[in-house]
Amino acid sequence: MRINMRKMEDNQEGTIATIKVAGELGRRIRDMGLVPGTEIRIQGRAPLYDPVALRVRGATLTLRNNEADYIEVEVQ
Amino acid sequence: MIRRATVALAGNPNSGKTTLFNELTGARQHVGNYPGVTVEKKEGTYLYKDFQLHIIDLPGTYSLTAYSLEEVVARDFLVNQKPEVVINIVDASNLERNLYLAVQFLELGIPVCIALNMMDVAQKRGIKIDVEKLSALLGVPVVPTIARTGKGKRDLLDSATRIVRDNEKLVPLTISYGDDVDRAMVDMEKEIEAHAFMNDTYPVRWIALKYMENDEQILSKGREVNPELAARLEDTVKKVSNHLQDTLDTYPEAMIADQRYGYIKSILKQGIVYQKYDQNRLYTSDRIDKVVTNRFLGPLIMLAVIAGLYHFVFTYSEVPVGWLESFFGWLGDGLNRILPDGLLKSLIVSGIIDGVGGVLGFVPLIMFMFFGIAILEDSGYLARVAFMLDRVFRTFGLHGSSVMAFIVSGGIAGGCAVPGVMATRTLKSPRERLATLLTVPFMNCGAKLPIFALLIAAFFAKHEAMIMFMITLGAWAGALLVAKLLRMTVVKGASTPFVMELPPYRMPTFKGLFIHTWERTWQYIRKAATIILSLSIILWAMMTFPGLPQKSLQEFENQRLSILNSVPAAVAHELKIVANRSELSAEARALKDQIKRLDYRKAETALRHSIAGRMGTALETISRWAGFDWRTNIALIGGFAAKEVVVSTLGTAYSLGEVDPEESGSLSDTLAKDPNWTPLMALGLIVFTMFYSPCFVAVICIARESGTWRWGAFAMIFNTVLAFVLAVLILQIGTALGILVK
């Protein structure tokens, strides 16, 4: 099943399916190691539920919810 | 024979690059700026065997595109300065992502040596790396290191200097970026080659690659060099881009990134990395985060840490600040006694010593602040603060990391905007950083507090705590709203993406903390010695010249003589020989007070006669709207030198002599009794003080941190206009409604 990253729950795992954004944001997302096929796990969210922290390739990254909106994730 | 060589250190942020740099250069480093930009340039030298290595610490980057200033700076340095060797520091515990940058160095075809750093962390995480095989597959030397302990340093330098000595011609790495991109790039390369298009600076394939990646810098350079060919190349890219979007629903730049990661994966898959555990398993650092960024505990811990930092900076620095103050006080007093009365003495004591003393008084504050922030930054906690507060600050067009600058500037009343403005360096997003450093001066710094205390004591004595609380809230509200306004107008632009790393918690090294603190402090001192000194002399001159005309001086002298003649000669004589006031007779004491009052009146007249006084008087026509007379105006002009000066200047202007800001009782009585003053005007003045131009030390810091004088000038003019409009509104609306009038 494919869902938007914003909709993922804490500790849920998945594989990035698509990232639909170009320009600076798209490039930054890719530079940090988020490309299609990458496995991720939601580590948690900030006290105000935004940004979100994820576990990628053994490191922890943070994204704002409106940035996570561009990322579709394949989950079980 | 000693051979010179330039070595560039490059790598991701948090890879241990700066630690390695400090390990190599120690205190023999120099921090400056890259020409024309505010990115820091750190360099140092290291003697190794028969090499004198000139080491440059390039800004930490994740990639080599042209989106951020750091990346452009790093890339330009590599391409234009052509260092003999680039040491790429790679975090071994985070190999896959770190190699993304390494691959881009290889694509550029520059001599690279990889330092596989943090081997100890990797080992603890159960990661084993086949170093030799990695080196063979990448085609560059790979040396395991632990920068924190200096382990592997000699091996690393051996490999690096071997590259310098061999000086081999390198072939840029060729990766397949997928059929469509590859085919187009082959055609583009032919064109570039045939027209000798920028290929004296960059490798041919790399130019084609950057066109595919839509790299702003290369595109605009290309348009300058050969507009006709540039248009053709851009057209080719467009065709590929359209094709990719139609068939694969992707962009060339995304495709290229995918293929780079694919290439890295294909290398690592050949038995390079052995992982004992699941790579996303939780480590100590993650367990700390479970508590520290917890929904309820997180904010509480953050409040405690911020309060702790504030306490550390402003309470512990009091002692050395006190030493400096007493030293300059002693120096001033001493010179006061030695030097003959006159202009030279006034210049040295009131202009130079007060000016330089006031500026150097900030030094302990700055040192403590940078030390405290360096601990938070190096340990990784600052990134968590940004993470937790981003939602709030983003609403106002700022960034989660902005909070530190606001707190230090006086978000809890009593900070200082100078270290606050400098604290914005931890912000990596340029627009958010600018909006932050322009609004932190609205916070209530320690020097504004005596002004508030004076006015509250005179007009709102019954509501002191409430008013102070309102002042603090007002400063925050004002700063955030102005930040929002700036971000919608002069600092317009989409918010910088928040995509960032939460690095694992680490124990900061003392060496790193001390080097960091010392560098920043030294930069500040150097600045203080030049510009700030000359400005304080100008302000002194404005309040001194022109002196009173002869006629007026004679008048004061006559009055003095008539006072002295009105009492028996014995009393006048007693005044001359007895220094201690308590030993004087009642008559002599009365005489002394009379003379003192005359001197204060003379000081008031002289002040009004000076350039600053005339400005204050001239400004009355406008400032009347807010109810300020020339006395208030001149005090506020003095406040531009340092807000501490406002109360003492007001004292002089009210013929009370220089009032000690800590004991302003007599002045507040005078103001309370003065029929021209109303509580409403006092409220207007409080608001004006909160928002008007930062003191000139802060203005200079703003100009330097933003990289241009324009923003320093903007802060002075915009803030003063804003403050004045608010003060006028308060007086006029309040008067119309009939509130807070006497």
| B455-495 pLDDT, tens digit each | 988 899 888 888 888 898 999 999 999 999 999 999 998 88
Using 50, 70 and 90 to split pLDDT, how confident is the model at B33?
A: confident
**pLDDT (average), residues B242-260:** 92
pLDDT in tens, B395-447: 999 998 898 889 888 887 667 888 889 888 878 788 999 999 999 999 988 88
Closest approach of chain B CAs to the CA of A74, in angstroms? 17
Residues B16 and B128 in one domain: yes
Q: Do A59 and B251 make contact, defined as CB atoms within 8 angstroms?
A: no
The pLDDT, as a whole number, for residue B697 is 86
Domain span at A49: 2-74
- As for how many domains chain B has, the answer is 3
Which of A65-69, B67-71, B611-615 is least confident?
A: B67-71
Residues B63 and B207 in one domain: no
Contacts of A29 in chain B (CB under 8 A): 497, 499
Beta strands, E only, chain A: 2-4, 13-19, 39-45, 52-56, 59-63, 71-74
Contact B184, B213 (CB under 8 A): no
Residues B564 and B605 in one domain: yes
Contact B647, B672 (CB under 8 A): no
The answer, for A75 touching chain B at a CB cutoff of 8 Å, is no
The residues, ordered by sequence, that sit 6+ positions from B24 with a Cβ below 8 Å of its Cβ are B44, B46, B53, B55, B153
Domain assignment present for residue B13? The answer is yes
**pLDDT (average), residues B630-652:** 86
Residues B66 and B104 in one domain: yes
Using 50, 70 and 90 to split pLDDT, how confident is the model at B209?
A: very high
Residues B139 and B217 in one domain: no
Residues B560 and B599 in one domain: yes
Residues B134 and B36 in one domain: yes
Q: Among B64, B97, B258, B394, which would you mutate to test the A interface (most chain A Cβ atoms within 10 Å of its Cβ)? A: B97
**pLDDT (average), residues B333-349:** 84
Q: State which of B609, B633, B650 marks the end of a domain.
A: B609
Q: State which of B555, B584, B609 marks the end of a domain.
A: B609
Closest CA to B497 of A12, A19, A36, A72: A19
Residues B230 and B159 in one domain: no
The pLDDT, as a whole number, for residue B576 is 75
Using 50, 70 and 90 to split pLDDT, how confident is the model at B38?
A: low
pLDDT in tens, B610-640: 998 999 999 999 999 999 999 999 899 888 8
Domain assignment present for residue B573? The answer is yes
The pLDDT, as a whole number, for residue B527 is 64
Using 50, 70 and 90 to split pLDDT, how confident is the model at B263?
A: very high
Chain A: residue whose CA lies nearest to B126:
A58
DSSP class per residue in B254-322:
HHHHHHHHHHHHHHHTTTTEEESS-TT---HHHHHHHHHT-TTHHHHHHHHHHHHHHHHHHHHTHHHHH
pLDDT in tens, B585-597: 788 888 888 888 8
Domain assignment present for residue B479? The answer is no
The pLDDT, as a whole number, for residue B528 is 63
Residues B227 and B156 in one domain: no
**Percentage of chain A exceeding pLDDT 70:** 100
The pLDDT, as a whole number, for residue B529 is 65
Q: How far apart are CA B477 and CA B484, in angstroms?
A: 11
Q: Do A57 and B253 make contact, defined as CB atoms within 8 angstroms?
A: no
Contacts of B299 in chain A (CB under 8 A): 47
Using 50, 70 and 90 to split pLDDT, how confident is the model at B316?
A: confident
Q: How far is residue B640 from each of residues B349, B445, B448, B485, B698, measured CA to CA in Å? A: 19, 13, 11, 24, 10
Mean pLDDT over the full length of chain B: 88
Q: How far apart are CA B599 and CA B307, in angstroms?
A: 46
In this structure, what CATH number is given to the domain that contains residue B185?
1.10.287.1770
Residue B144: asked if its preceding bond is cis (omega within 30°), the reply is no
Provide the whole-model pTM: 0.83
Using 50, 70 and 90 to split pLDDT, how confident is the model at B532?
A: low
In this structure, what CATH number is given to the domain that contains residue A28?
2.30.30.90
Residues B16 and B122 in one domain: yes
Domain assignment present for residue B234? The answer is yes
Contacts of A60 in chain B (CB under 8 A): 286, 289, 501-502, 504
**pLDDT (average), residues B103-118:** 95
Residues B218 and B113 in one domain: no
The residues, ordered by sequence, that sit 6+ positions from B65 with a Cβ below 8 Å of its Cβ are A27, A31, B71, B213, B215
- As for how many domains chain A has, the answer is 1
- Other C-beta atoms lying within 10 Å of the C-beta of residue A47: 18
Q: Among A28, A45, A54, A70, which would you mutate to test the B interface (most chain B Cβ atoms within 10 Å of its Cβ)? A: A28
Measured at the alpha carbon of residue B113, what is the angle toward residues B108 and B115, in degrees to the nearest 5? 125
Q: Do A26 and B254 make contact, defined as CB atoms within 8 angstroms?
A: yes
The pLDDT, as a whole number, for residue B742 is 65
The pLDDT, as a whole number, for residue B144 is 97
Bridge partners of B31, per DSSP, are B42
CB pairs under 8 A between A and B: 121
In this structure, what CATH number is given to the domain that contains residue B16?
3.40.50.300
Using 50, 70 and 90 to split pLDDT, how confident is the model at B118?
A: very high
Q: How far apart are CA B506 and CA B54, in angstroms?
A: 29
Domain span at B576: 547-609
Residues B91 and B142 in one domain: yes
**Percentage of chain B exceeding pLDDT 90:** 47
The pLDDT, as a whole number, for residue B498 is 84
Q: State which of B260, B275, B290 marks the end of a domain.
A: B275
Q: How far apart are CA B676 and CA B451, in angstroms?
A: 18
State how beta strands B51-57 and A52-56 pair: unpaired
Contact B146, B117 (CB under 8 A): yes
**pLDDT (average), residues B544-568:** 86
The answer, for A54 touching chain B at a CB cutoff of 8 Å, is no
The pLDDT, as a whole number, for residue B693 is 95
Domain assignment present for residue B510? The answer is no
The pLDDT, as a whole number, for residue B373 is 82
Residue B367 has pLDDT above 90, yes or no: no
Using 50, 70 and 90 to split pLDDT, how confident is the model at B534?
A: confident
**pLDDT (average), residues B132-152:** 95
